[in-house]
Amino acid sequence: MRPIDVFPSVAQLKVRDRAILCGLFLSKFDQAAVQALDFASRVEAFNIMGHSVGVAPASIKNYRDEFDPVFPNERVGRTGRPMREHCRLLLERFGELEFNEMRALVVGVIDPSSVILGANTLLSLEAELAGESVVAKRIATGLAAEGYFRRHYKDISLFRGHSLIDTTLLGCGFDFRLDMPNQSGFLAAEVKGLRGSTGEISLTEKEYRVASRLREDYIVVVITNFSDSPLPVVFRDPVGSPIGLRRRSRKLTEVRWEMQVR
């Protein structure tokens, strides 16, 4: 079965099936799969894949173990019981894909916005343009952090008692709106991610303008340490925060291709 036969249906896969495919890739290709997506370790792969597709990282590991008896490796995997039916069906459908095909499939499963379908092959657009692996960096600083926040925002004391509205696709200068019942106003949360425990994050010009207007009601939540155990760090009013923001500008060259209409 070739990529063109299976990729168009990926968008319709359930969250569970996306997680299963991540586990299948990690089981079949093991360390090569981890390296191909620029993960530093298996633990980082579990964390970023899990939070990106919307499941606990342990679920990715469990699905990997489910397939381990099928693919020779040093792990024992899950033995002594038959493979679950939903895993078996995906194994039959996708298990024969070659390495590059399955890698492209999993990139699309984790981050549908990063891929295009064309010329019978699913490609990572950013990786093709940059000529290097950017998958893990993009996911860790975006989808995985947002996924972690969706699952764990109630564990952050500032947001307890609030209801969550996902605004990630609205382009309003923050990722989530949090409302408190029977109270006016709201908190705006902009979520960033770091693979390690320290690093640098940035705000876009629009995010900075909204943060300057909302001040105490604008919170930057940085999900750190995807390489080990993710941990949220909260910055309220980043514009006035002692940690400080530095303005940095870049000059971009825009290339256009034109044609004459006659």
Closest CA to 176 of 154, 195, 198, 199: 154
256 is a domain residue: no
Instruction: Say if residue 211 is in the same domain as residue 177.
Output: yes
89 is a domain residue: yes
Instruction: Say if residue 221 is in the same domain as residue 166.
Output: yes
Residue 109: predicted pLDDT: 86
Closest CA to 245 of 255, 254, 235, 253: 235
Average pLDDT, the chain: 84
Q: What is the CATH number of the domain that holds 176?
A: 3.40.1350
Domain count, the chain: 2
Instruction: Say if residue 52 is in the same domain as residue 85.
Output: yes
Instruction: Say if residue 122 is in the same domain as residue 164.
Output: no
Instruction: Say if residue 79 is in the same domain as residue 161.
Output: no
71 is a domain residue: yes
Is the pLDDT score of 189 beyond 60? Answer: yes
Q: Which region among 66-70, 75-79, 235-239 has the lowest average model confidence (pLDDT)?
A: 75-79
Q: Residues 67-87: what's their mean pLDDT?
A: 80
Boundary residue ending a domain (76, 105, 130): 130
Express each pLDDT in 170-184 by its tens digit. Answer: 999 999 999 999 888
Q: Which position has the token pair 């699913």?
A: 122
157 is a domain residue: yes
Which two tokens mark 234? Answer: 């909260």
Instruction: Say if residue 149 is in the same domain as residue 224.
Output: yes
16 is a domain residue: yes
Residue 82: predicted pLDDT: 85
261 is a domain residue: no
Is the pLDDT score of 123 beyond 70? Answer: no
pTM value is 0.83
Residues 69, 235: Cα–Cα separation, whole Å: 46
Write b or e for each residue in 173-188: b if 16 or more Cβ atoms lie within 10 A of its Cβ, otherwise e: bbbbbbeeeeeeebbb
Domain enclosing residue 61, as ranges: 3-130
| Chain centre to alpha carbon of residue 1 | 27
249 is a domain residue: no
Instruction: Say if residue 126 is in the same domain as residue 147.
Output: no
232 is a domain residue: yes
Q: Residues 197-225: what's their mean pLDDT?
A: 94
Instruction: Say if residue 152 is in the same domain as residue 208.
Output: yes
Q: Residues 10-34: what's their mean pLDDT?
A: 91
Instruction: Say if residue 125 is in the same domain as residue 147.
Output: no
